[in-house]
């Protein structure tokens, strides 16, 4: 007989958001009986939106009470919170065993990382009064959890230092490798992408830690005979008009071809993964780093900055020093020297298998089985 899992979050974020996608993926997999020994007992969430006071009341009072009531009404279940930003929802003196997924600790433990462009703030260095109180509630909530499930070893190491007496398990993201398979699901070339050029891809926002600005500088340092043939396709939500304008201006100054694609559906993004020469991922801080995994599952080579936690995802030989322009230039020159359209990369496909759905299901089942 399977054990029921009450899956809890705060606002009903859409699948298109990072935390929303992780939540929906977990709900889908548990409801489809993909986690041995466990079934979905229900989803507790609330609609997003409303005025500031209504949002505060819902987050601090109404929704926590709903979660506490549901915990009392389901004596044989386990309670799982799908991200650390909702840790305050863990009821005090809860009779149910509680696990929570920690995607990262950037806001609870902000830090600064040095780069050639100066220091990059990771997390809010100076939260306001209300946010400061909210963070205190989150820390107390995490203290009440029975099991912390971290999506990377880097995050788990931080968690072990903060909560040395807690049970902590590492459960990396899983991916439906077959859904990205370039052999079973070859996709047409995205409109506007020309195979006579060297098409490179970056996926993410213009948030400073993502370092799209670093990629622009790298492409600006390419040999003059090559620079005009290279196009960087930037996919993802735009943080602000100001940041886009600044990056576009710098790219123009350096003679860099920067193509703003915007947000894409999963299938359209997969088309870019299949047809671009490589994904470049120079971020200096990630909770996991899903784009490199998606790219590899699509047969696309990747080059990522050797920084936590996305350096756990790709093969070691595909890691580059986070701040060495020369090393990134050399990697791009290598991609540009290859003749003809790129074929699915066997190293990428093999590496993606490590993060299969089966591996994820086994890991999450093992973690939940520790809860009594």
Query: CB neighbours (10 Å) of residue 245?
Result: 10
Task: Tell how strand 118-122 and strand 111-115 pair up.
Answer: antiparallel
In the block, tokens 């995490």 appear at 142
Contact assessment for residue 78 and residue 44, using Cβ atoms and an 8 Å cutoff: no
Residue 32, pLDDT score: 95
Residue 341, pLDDT score: 78
Percentage of the chain lying above the pLDDT 70 cut: 100
Are 219 and 300 members of one domain?
A: yes
Q: Say which residues have a Cβ less than 8 Å from residue 327's Cβ, sequence separation at least 6.
A: 320, 321
Residue 351, pLDDT score: 97
The model's pTM is: 0.94
The band of 38, judged by pLDDT with boundaries at 50, 70 and 90, is very high
Q: Phi and psi at residue 81, in whole multiples of 5°?
A: -95, 130
Query: CB neighbours (10 Å) of residue 152?
Result: 25
Are 270 and 188 members of one domain?
A: yes
Residue 16, pLDDT score: 80
Are 185 and 170 members of one domain?
A: no
Residue 223, pLDDT score: 95
Q: How far apart are CA 331 and CA 317, in angstroms?
A: 11
Are 295 and 362 members of one domain?
A: no
Measured CA to CA in angstroms, residue 192 lies from 46, 195, 233 at distances of 40, 10, 10
- Identify which of 244, 217, 219 has the alpha carbon closest to the alpha carbon of residue 229: 219
Query: CB neighbours (10 Å) of residue 294?
Result: 23
The band of 83, judged by pLDDT with boundaries at 50, 70 and 90, is very high
Q: How far apart are CA 36 and CA 23, in angstroms?
A: 18
Are 159 and 236 members of one domain?
A: no
Q: Is pLDDT of 339 > 80?
A: no
Are 157 and 51 members of one domain?
A: yes
Residue 3, pLDDT score: 94
* pLDDT tens digits, 265-324: 989 999 999 999 999 999 999 999 999 999 999 999 999 999 999 999 999 999 999 999
Give how many domains the chain has, as a whole number.
Answer: 2
DSSP codes joined into one string, 314-362: S-GGGEE-TT-HHHHHHHHHHHHT--SSPPPPHHHHHHHGGGBHHHHHH
Q: How far apart are CA 92 and CA 38, in angstroms?
A: 24
The three-state secondary structure class of 294 is: helix
Are 87 and 121 members of one domain?
A: yes
Residue 18, pLDDT score: 84
Q: Say which residues have a Cβ less than 8 Å from residue 135's Cβ, sequence separation at least 6.
A: 107, 108, 127
Q: Which two tokens stand for residue 80?
A: 């799982």
Residue 237, pLDDT score: 78
Q: Is pLDDT of 90 > 90?
A: yes
Q: Is pLDDT of 117 > 90?
A: no
* pLDDT tens digits, 222-248: 999 999 999 999 998 776 788 889 999
Expressed as residue numbers, the domain containing 193 is 177-354
Are 10 and 130 members of one domain?
A: yes
Residue 233, pLDDT score: 97
The mean pLDDT of the chain is: 94
* pLDDT tens digits, 154-212: 999 999 999 999 999 999 999 998 888 898 889 999 988 988 899 999 999 888 999 99
The band of 17, judged by pLDDT with boundaries at 50, 70 and 90, is confident
Q: Is pLDDT of 111 > 90?
A: yes
- Which residues, in sequence order, are bridge partners of residue 235? 203, 262
Measured CA to CA in angstroms, residue 25 lies from 100, 317, 359 at distances of 15, 30, 14
CATH of the domain at 163: 3.40.50.2000
Are 190 and 170 members of one domain?
A: no
Are 150 and 295 members of one domain?
A: no
Average pLDDT of the residues in 114-134: 91
Are 289 and 209 members of one domain?
A: yes
Are 263 and 163 members of one domain?
A: no
């Amino acid at each position: 007989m399977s054990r029921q899992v009450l899956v809890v979050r705060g606002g009903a974020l859409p699948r298109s958001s990072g935390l929303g996608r992780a939540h929906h993926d977990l709900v889908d997999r548990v409801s489809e009986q993909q986690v041995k020994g466990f079934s979905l007992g229900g989803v507790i969430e609330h609609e997003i939106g409303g005025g500031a006071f209504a949002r505060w009341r819902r987050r601090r009072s109404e929704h926590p009470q709903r979660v506490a009531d549901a915990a009392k009404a389901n004596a044989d279940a386990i309670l799982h919170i799908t991200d650390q930003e909702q840790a305050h929802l863990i009821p005090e003196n809860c009779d149910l065993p509680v696990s929570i997924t920690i995607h990262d600790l950037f806001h609870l433990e902000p830090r600064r990382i040095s780069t050639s462009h100066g220091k990059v703030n990771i997390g809010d260095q100076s939260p306001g009064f209300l946010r400061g109180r909210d963070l205190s509630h989150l820390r107390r909530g995490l203290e009440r959890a029975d099991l912390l499930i971290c999506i990377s070893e880097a995050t788990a190491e931080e968690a072990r230092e903060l909560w040395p007496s807690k049970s902590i398990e590492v459960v990396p993201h899983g991916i439906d490798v077959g859904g990205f398979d370039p052999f079973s699901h070859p996709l047409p070339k995205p409109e506007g992408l020309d195979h006579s050029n060297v098409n490179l891809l970056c996926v993410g926002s213009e948030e400073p830690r993502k370092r799209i600005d670093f990629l622009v500088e790298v492409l600006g340092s390419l040999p003059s005979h090559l620079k005009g043939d290279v196009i960087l396709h930037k996919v993802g939500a735009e943080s602000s008009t100001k940041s886009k304008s600044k990056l576009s201006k710098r790219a123009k100054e350096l003679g860099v071809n920067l193509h703003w694609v915007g947000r894409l559906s999963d299938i359209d993004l997969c088309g870019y993964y299949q047809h671009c020469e490589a994904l470049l991922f120079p971020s200096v801080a990630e909770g996991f780093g899903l784009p490199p995994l998606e790219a590899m599952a699509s047969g696309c080579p990747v080059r990522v900055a050797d920084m936590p936690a996305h350096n756990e995802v790709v093969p070691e030989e595909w890691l580059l020093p986070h701040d060495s322009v020369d090393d990134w230039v050399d990697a791009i020159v290598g991609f540009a020297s290859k003749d003809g359209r790129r074929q699915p990369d066997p190293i990428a496909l093999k590496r993606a298998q490590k993060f299969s759905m089966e591996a994820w299901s086994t890991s999450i089942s093992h973690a939940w089985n520790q809860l009594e």
